[in-house]
Each structure stands twice: as structure tokens, then as C-alpha cells.
């Protein structure tokens, strides 16, 4: 279309008033079927593409987006998510995008419910949701649907909940990939260690469960004779308790040379190995957080699988912006890269790269 075509030109070609064209373009009521058809016919003929940026700026409306995520430690995966989300709001500041963060306790269902009730009371324009288990998350998302509030899912994909979009890794493929890489260096082993952080004996992250499923599928198909020892580190415990558990395990399993974990806390084992001078054990873990990267540099962690947490946070807010403010279609499923970091390339990895 010629960029110089104006609304009054469209009105002239359609034989209607400028006000009628404006109502069609903004999908407003009080317009006859005949007039709408005339305008739409012209729009199709000239391949009209509205300037949504200009339109959104002209409305001068402010938008409230909420990032609904678990409480976390400093330097954790979630901190990078936050930084990316806040950066996206800063980039779109001309459109009056405001991002606020609401935390819930991932190990206490009552806080999830109380915090999403609080979130709904704030009447958000859009929400980024990191889910808990399916049923409680469904209660939240059904209320969002009921109030016509778009939401993006982050970390774990639950398609039945009908999110606007999803950002995160394909967890099954990621676990399968992790097994394949690990076995390049551990293929001759008879046993390996799988470290889990658990609450009441269970992993609380659906993403980690799916990674483990992918990992075990690969192991079952290609290395069925390797024994996998599970070591549970209770989430409510501290460093001293972890040290005792790990000391007991490695003292009784001297032939174990490889460990894998599907969370961002590989450094718990990595730091233990460094402090106890156990140099014969290598770890594979997830996420390029500071403590993991340092263990990678010092050699107690062999590989980290990274997924650009910063980019995920940025993309979630940007997707809400494009869908809600610019009225654009967005891709419903957005899998993040499965990236392998080693001692040699970790310092070239840019967590804030867009």
C-alpha cells in the first residue's frame, strides 16, 4: 500500500464518511453491515496495514502487567527472568507499560492461591504465570479467562490451560539431550548419580520432572544397564545437612564419577566436591547462574545447559505488549534454545543478549 493513503482517501474510495472508516478500523459498533463491507473491500484492495504503534501512542493509555513467579534466592534463574521482564517494560516506556512482580511460595499452595487472588484484585491487563501443579494453576487461569485477562506461561507448558503464549525449553527434549551429552563422557560407567531437590520427597517443578523423563527415556533406550542412584536434598534443609548427605553418599559410592541434576543448583554438589577435594567426579547441571558458572570454571561442573532466562523474561512481557497494546497476533509456542556451556565458552555467554 502507498504510505500516503489516508483515512479520508479510504472513505472517498468506499463512498462513506471518515467517521465510518474510523469505526471499522477500530472495530467499534454502530455501523451498518453494508457500510462495513464497503470499507473492508477497499482495505483488502489496498492491503491496508494500520500503524498500530502510532495508534497505541495516541491513546495514551497505561498498562499493568504482572510477573507471577516463585520466591527465589539472589543470582538464581528467576532473577534473570525478572531483569528481562523489567527491561522489556523500560524499552516500551513510551507506551506506559508497567511491570510489577508478585511472588508466591512454590512449596506452599495457600500462598499461591492468596497471591493469585491478590493479583486478580489489581485488575491486570496481562499476566506472566509460572505455574504450580496443574489443578491449582487451572483455578487461576480459569479466573483470568473469565475476566478476559491474557496470560503468558513461563517455565512449564500446560496447553490445556489455553495461554496466549508459552516461553521455555522443550523440557523432554532438553532432558534427552542432557543424557546424550553426558553419555559421551560417561558411557563406560556402571552407575551415575541423579541429584534432586525435593519437598516431602517430591520434585515440585513440572519442568524438572519432564527433563528427568526425557533423560530416563534416553538411558532406557541406549544405556539400560547403567544404574541411576537418586540423592534427595530436601529444599527445607541447609548447607550443613546437604554436606552430611553428600558426604555419606560419596563415601559409600566411591565408583561414581558422574552426577546430573535438572535444576539450577548443581553448584551445591560442585562446591561440596571442591571443598572436599574430590576431583574425580564431574557434574552436569542447568542454568548459567553465578555459582554454577564458577564451579564450571573450577572444573567440578563439566557442562551446563542454559536457556537464556533473561530473554524469556523479556519475551514474555514483549508478547503481552504486542498482543494487548498493538493488537498483533503472537506465536503460541516459543521454545527456547538448548545451549551447552563448558569451561571454554562460559565467559562468552551473554545472559542479556537479545
Domain boundaries, the chain: 7-50, 59-168+309-337, 171-306
> By C-alpha distance, which of 166, 160, 157 is closest to 145?
160
pLDDT tens string, the chain, 354 residues long: the values are: 445 677 888 888 889 888 888 888 777 778 898 989 898 888 888 777 666 555 555 566 889 999 999 988 765 678 889 999 999 999 888 888 999 999 999 888 999 999 999 999 999 999 999 998 889 999 999 999 999 999 999 988 999 999 999 999 999 999 999 999 999 999 999 999 999 998 888 887 888 999 999 999 999 999 999 999 999 999 888 889 999 999 999 999 999 999 999 998 999 999 999 999 888 899 999 998 889 999 999 999 999 999 888 999 999 999 999 999 988 899 999 999 999 999 999 988 865 544
Topology agreement, domain 59-168+309-337 and domain 171-306: yes
Q: What residues contact 81, with CB distance under 8 A and at least 6 apart? A: 67, 69, 154, 309, 310, 312, 313
Asked whether 313 and 85 are in contact (CB, 8 A), the reply is yes
- For 93-127, give one letter per residue: b (16+ CB within 10 A) or e: eebbbebeebebebeeeebbeebbeebbeeebbbb
pLDDT score for 1: 45
What local confidence, expressed as pLDDT, does residue 58 receive?
53
The structure's pTM equals 0.78
Distance of CA 268 to the CA centre of its chain: 23
- pLDDT, residue 229, reads 97
Q: How far is CA 241 from CA 2, 235, 237, 253, 272, in A?
A: 70, 11, 6, 18, 12
CATH architecture of residue range(s) 59-168+309-337:
3-Layer(aba) Sandwich (3.40)
Q: What dihedral angle (degrees, nearest 10) is formed by the CA atoms of 251, 252, 256, 257?
A: 0
Domain 7-50 has CATH 1.10.260.40: yes
pLDDT value for 352: 54
Residue 306 near residue 80 (C-beta atoms within 8 A):
no
> What is the CATH code of the structural domain delimited by 171-306?
3.40.50.2300
CB 31 within 8 Å of CB 11: no
Amino acid at each position: 500500500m502507498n504510505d500516503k493513503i489516508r483515512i479520508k482517501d479510504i472513505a472517498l474510495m468506499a463512498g462513506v464518511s471518515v467517521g465510518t472508516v474510523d469505526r471499522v478500523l477500530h472495530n467499534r459498533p454502530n455501523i451498518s453491515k453494508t457500510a462495513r463491507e464497503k470499507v473492508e473491500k477497499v482495505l483488502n484492495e489496498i492491503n491496508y496495514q494500520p500503524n498500530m504503534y502510532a495508534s497505541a501512542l495516541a491513546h495514551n493509555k497505561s498498562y499493568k502487567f504482572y510477573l507471577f513467579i516463585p520466591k527465589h534466592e539472589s543470582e538464581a534463574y528467576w532473577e534473570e527472568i525478572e531483569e528481562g521482564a523489567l527491561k522489556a517494560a523500560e524499552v516500551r516506556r513510551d507506551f506506559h507499560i508497567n511491570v510489577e512482580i508478585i511472588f508466591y511460595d512454590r512449596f506452599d499452595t495457600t500462598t499461591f492461591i492468596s497471591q493469585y487472588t491478590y493479583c486478580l484484585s489489581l485488575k491486570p491487563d496481562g499476566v506472566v504465570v509460572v505455574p504450580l501443579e496443574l489443578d491449582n494453576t487451572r483455578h487461576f487461569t480459569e479466573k483470568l479467562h473469565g475476566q478476559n485477562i491474557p496470560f503468558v506461561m513461563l517455565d512449564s507448558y500446560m496447553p490445556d490451560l489455553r495461554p496466549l503464549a508459552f516461553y521455555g525449553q522443550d523440557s523432554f527434549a532438553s532432558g534427552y539431550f542432557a543424557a546424550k551429552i553426558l553419555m559421551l563422557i560417561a558411557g563406560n560407567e556402571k552407575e551415575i548419580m541423579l541429584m534432586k531437590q525435593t519437598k516431602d520427597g517430591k520434585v515440585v517443578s513440572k519442568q524438572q520432572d519432564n527433563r528427568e523423563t526425557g533423560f530416563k527415556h534416553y538411558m532406557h533406550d541406549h544405556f539400560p544397564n547403567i544404574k541411576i542412584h537418586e540423592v534427595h536434598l530436601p529444599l527445607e534443609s541447609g548447607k550443613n545437612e546437604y554436606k552430611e548427605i553428600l558426604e555419606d553418599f560419596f563415601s559409600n559410592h566411591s565408583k561414581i564419577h558422574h552426577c546430573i541434576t535438572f535444576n539450577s543448583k548443581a553448584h551445591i554438589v560442585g562446591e561440596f566436591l571442591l571443598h572436599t577435594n574430590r576431583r574425580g567426579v564431574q557434574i552436569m547441571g542447568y542454568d548459567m547462574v553465578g555459582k554454577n558458572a564458577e564451579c564450571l570454571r573450577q572444573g567440578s561442573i563439566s557442562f551446563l545447559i542454559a536457556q537464556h532466562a533473561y530473554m524469556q523474561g523479556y519475551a514474555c512481557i514483549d508478547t503481552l505488549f504486542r498482543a494487548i497494546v498493538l493488537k498483533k497476533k503472537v506465536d503460541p509456542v516459543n521454545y527456547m534454545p538448548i545451549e551447552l556451556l563448558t569451561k571454554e565458552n562460559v565467559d562468552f555467554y551473554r545472559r542479556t543478549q537479545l
